Structure 1
Amino acid sequence: MAADRQGRAGQDSRCGRPTDAMVDAARVFGQPVGTGAATRHPAAPRLPPSRYGFPGRAERVHCLPEQGTRSMIDLMRPWVFVLLPLPLLAWRILPAIAANAALPVPAPIRGLISGLSDEGRRRRRRPEDLWIKALGWALLVVALAGPYSRDSILVTPTGRDLMIAVDLSASMEQQDMILDDVSVPRFVAVRELLKDFIKARKGDRVGLIAYGHEAYLISPLGYDVEAVAAVLDELAIGLPGHRTDLGRAIGLAVKTFDAEQDAGRVLILLSDGEDNSGELTGFDAAVLAAQHGVRIHTIGFASNIEADGADVLRNIANNADGVFFWARSTADLAATSRAINEMEPTERPEEENHILRDWSLYAVAAVLLLLAGLIVQEIRKA
């Protein structure tokens, strides 16, 4: 059983070929889907790097640690230990260094070499010098062997894939939202409320899309909800354009979801209701998303959302088996969280996620310290 879980660890359909449903979605939304990271989400250009590593770095999977174990230290290259007797063999085999050698050798290096030659055997050396050199060589071999330990974390996912699409168009700069009794721009309220909402989604795979005239995949689906919440601080109004294209945001979300999941795929679409860009309307995109099994909840962020904007978001939610929320407070956003919790999660097998810890650098540091001490000692003798 454990071996079976280990075999499944790290397996993710996102790393393999695009499935038929993803290809169908690509045809529907008019964008190609490939097997590489660059072609899997073609609408997302390379964004400026952030301190959290989004995008451009491999996703760091952090799952629910219901049960964890740490293995003993193992070696990547255990065969390196055959080199342990090499200094002893060199000391026995290398010829003696002539006192009148023509090639000038610096005193520290000559002192180290002499310890491996007949000249070293003829001289009386302190036992601690030999022990220090032996220890240094042993540590060097250990470092070359690549010691590491493995932490195993048992993954128990709920089975929901949750993508959050945040509106970064120019209209989100309007200062008509109330947060902690202070009037703030719409995006500031969205960002602060979403942080708590995302952090509470432990067990779900959460991703983040920023959209305006374009739609960018900021964070792929993953279990590290803390990292997804933190990257919200890196977003800025106007990054994906100043107009709003709801259809493009929905299309990118559909192609991001794993196509083999039969249930539990949810898109949270946050907007002020404007849809003034793009050929595919949000209404039509919602119909196509529903055909691919994606449920869409829409959240209108504005203190006094216009009737047209409310109708747009309400129709999108209705056509994708979702719910429309008018969010003016944390209580409204909590209602969305409760709606998602009521969904029946897809059953997924338990998996083990492994984190490797490299210990070779500690051995290298010890070798460098010993080498520095020997060089200083030989310089003083010279």
Structure 2
Amino acid sequence: MTLTGTGNPDFSQVEADAGQLQFDPRQALFFAEKRPFFLEGLEQFDTPNTLIYTRRLVQPVVAVKLTGKVSGTNLGALFGVDGAGASLTGTDHPVYTILRVRRDLVGQSTVGLVYTYRIEGGDYNRVAGADARLVLGPIYALALQGAQSVTRSIGGVVNAPLWQATLDRTGREFAFHYGITGIHPDFVAASGFIARPGIVTAVVDHRLTFFGRPGSSLESWTPDLFLFGRWQYDDFTSGRAAEDRELHVNLTGVLRGGWAITSGVFFESFGYDSSLYRDYALEHTSGSVTDTMRFVGTPHIRNLDLLLNVATPQFKRFSGTLLLLPAIQDENFFEWAPARILIVQASGDWRPTDQLRVSASYSQKSNTRCRGRCSCGWWVSTTPNGRTRCATTPAPTSRFSSATRPPASTRARRRERTTRYGSTGSCRTTRHQGR
């Protein structure tokens, strides 16, 4: 067992987060933990659905952590008092108590318990849950999870559940994944990370792998059929249809030498989520009177997307990936209308020497609503995001990293046919040195 503690730690030298594209504004973005105190033994706090998220402790005044494994039982315990700046009032100090226990069973099966408690002033949030992963033979695994949150706030005390079940087959030639997850609208994990509460998601994924003859150029090819549904929680429990429906057909080929190429066609239907546009209104003029009326979007937008992903082998000095996702028609969340969307993501690692590594990545998402669908002309939104990182490993070790981020979003004016990209950006450089 390892016991560590910290008081008023200085996180100013921690590497900056890389920017991310937000594909769905209804879901929060996840940023991984990078702070050294929390990174050590972080695997002991792993839970399905991220019921423990140490970045909730923003700037701890004091924190104590106990991690380790005893007689087949993994233990992670964390107690922390956060700075007042992380509270709603700006004066209270949120207090966190986190406990995670996971027991190894026969044949790589595990069972686990989790308990978190966050208190701030007179309010609190408690989450208690249990999970199990049962390995059923060499290629089957069943995972189950259930959790309950109890939250007290100015509105009273609210109880709400979270539940999940998955079944996996990991055969060499035939594999599948079945899963269903439900998160009640009132479920709160104040010490965890829930990207979007109030929904139920279900997935069915089947995959076949065919292998080429020894020495052939095509080593294997894998067709994949992916079905996905998303319901509002109350709609699911009432037996109503899914709000979002997706059918993805993918084909992956692995070539001799390590090249991997994936192509796909996505058929999707997204339903109108009134909660996202609760504050939207349209101006309406009748004669000399101008008023506003509530925005009501079209019930469904049907999407047709294409996918191409290419990954190079792990060459001695270089490796990289390129993803292109052109959407012939996709949902434009800005104004809830069909749009043409282009997503580009590229990344590469260059290793000029055994001690030096340079990593670069770039991603961009462009939304275009053409004149043919909108009488007022073209509409364009572009979100670029670039990052470079350089790491060296001599003795003493040093690491240099820099991130360059273009403007979060640039939009062309209506009636303009071209997108004007901002010429300014922000750059943050962080340097670490140690023995």
Specify if TM > 0.5: no
TM-score of the pair, normalised by structure 1: 0.23
Q: Which has the higher strand share?
A: 2
By relative contact order (CA 8 Å, sep 6+), the higher-ranking structure is 1
TM-score normalised according to structure 2 size = 0.21
Structure of higher CA gyration radius: 1
Higher helix share: 1
